[in-house]
Structure 1
């Protein structure tokens, strides 16, 4: 055996392996940097206002700005918010964190539950809040299905069954970036000492007792540590604070 040649082959193999591992590490860091936009993406005056008002942002600032259209929805069986329906058999509440297993456990009672997403920040120990999904991805905020629990079991639910439609006149538009929406909030709306804990893109739908089709627009939801929430309309940039039920421009 030519040990010199074998040695050279091993050296080249290790060099190639190091190059591959180095590229994977660099690519992973780049993807993480691109997907986790930090507060340096905010404009300088916004960052100064953060310091002056002692506002902290603990949530990741999303970078996505998809093209989304306004939708319409209507309640299928009227407004059923106060009606509680018992499950045929209790379900382990731990399944709420495993969407596939939860859907399997409740498919006979709620066959479309896989079209809902769990909202951890809106939930409590025994009330699990889920929102219907638009296009299977974007949560329709303010429209809720509540799974009610007791002794670590889900025993009943409350549901607002809806039907979503897509008006032909509504064309997809590029949504406002999360950083711009957050900048507007910081400079004009958030009180001193606010802590932003969650930022998510979805749709904002008002709840009215009506059989008519109701409009819903793309919106960024900003949750504060205090429990207060703000929505920034993704097309117009209007700011909505459901706590006061006022729309601000």
Structure 2
């Protein structure tokens, strides 16, 4: 037996094993880093308050602070309630997870389907919820397109038809950072033990049966593990919560 060759084989095997283990360790660390939020954007007093109130934020804290204007919108074709309309042909509900196919399948019945974004957090058994997009990017929360499904088929929908326009004289303003909005909630609104599972920037719109133009401002939406939603107005920092009916515009 050639012990020299066997020794070299063992050395190379151990080196290869170390490389594999090292890569796996790095990969695990990278996944953990991606899944953990960056709390460096939070002030030390906010982090302390989170610890004291046992508040956890597994959601990613967005860093974007774009300049956005307030907008206005109005309901058309029957106001804000809408009517449930049956689809001529049921559509496979799995398409909700592939937006391009969903648009292709529903564009005949819903020509504006490409202007909506699926909201997984707001959806529930039996219905998918989508929101219209402002400037093709920012969801208009509380205004919905609901797709109803049964037996894994989308069979009907209810759409709140609206027209969106920029408010006259409104200038674009830089929105409040998500970390500052979160800090306000942590200190003043979130109950002990809260778990924030989602943070997203959009617009907050109210539903009224009115033909008048209604205002909507940029807002951060925070969703708790319990399903409770909080909205922080992106310009003023005012909060819409279960105990506050309306934020100041």
Q: TM-score, length-normalised on structure 2? A: 0.83
The residue correspondences of 1:154-169 to structure 2 (distance < 5 A) are 154-169=154-169
Moved over 3 A (4+): 246-249
Q: Which residue of 1 aligns with 2:23?
A: none
Deviation at 1:243, TM superposition (A): 6.4
The 5-angstrom pairing of residues 189-228 of structure 1 reads 189-228=189-228
Aligned residue pairs total: 220
Q: 1:194 to 1:243 in 2, by over 3 A?
A: same
Is 1:232 aligned to residue 235 of structure 2?
A: no
Deviations 1:144-202 (A, max 9, x none): 01000000100000110000011230010000000000011001110000000000000
Cα distance in 2 between the residues matched to 1:237 and 1:90: 43
Equivalent residue number for residue 181 of structure 2: 181
Task: State how far apart, in whole Å, the 1-side matches of 2:206 and 2:80 are.
Answer: 15
Distance 1:62 1:141 in 2: 18
Could you list the per-position Cα deviations for residues 121-158 of structure 1 after superposition, in whole angstroms to 9, with x for gaps in the alignment?
A: 00012110000000000000000010000001000001
**C-alpha displacement at 1:37, in angstroms?**
5.5
The question of whether the paired residues in 1 share the 8 Å contact of 2:80 and 2:208 is answered with no
Q: For structure 1, list consecutive stretches of 5 or more residues without a partner in the other structure.
A: 1-28
TM-score by length of 1: 0.83
Whether the 8 Å contact between 1:197 and 1:224 is mirrored in structure 2 is: yes
Counterpart secondary structure, 2:114: helix
2:140 pairs with 1:140: yes
Q: Is the 8 A contact 2:233 2:247 kept in 1?
A: no
Are 2:131 and 1:131 equivalent residues in the alignment? yes
Give the aligned CA root-mean-square deviation in angstroms: 2.3
**Contact 1:78/1:211 (<8 A) preserved:** no
1:66 corresponds in structure 2 to: 66
Structure 2 residue runs without a partner (length 5+): 1-28
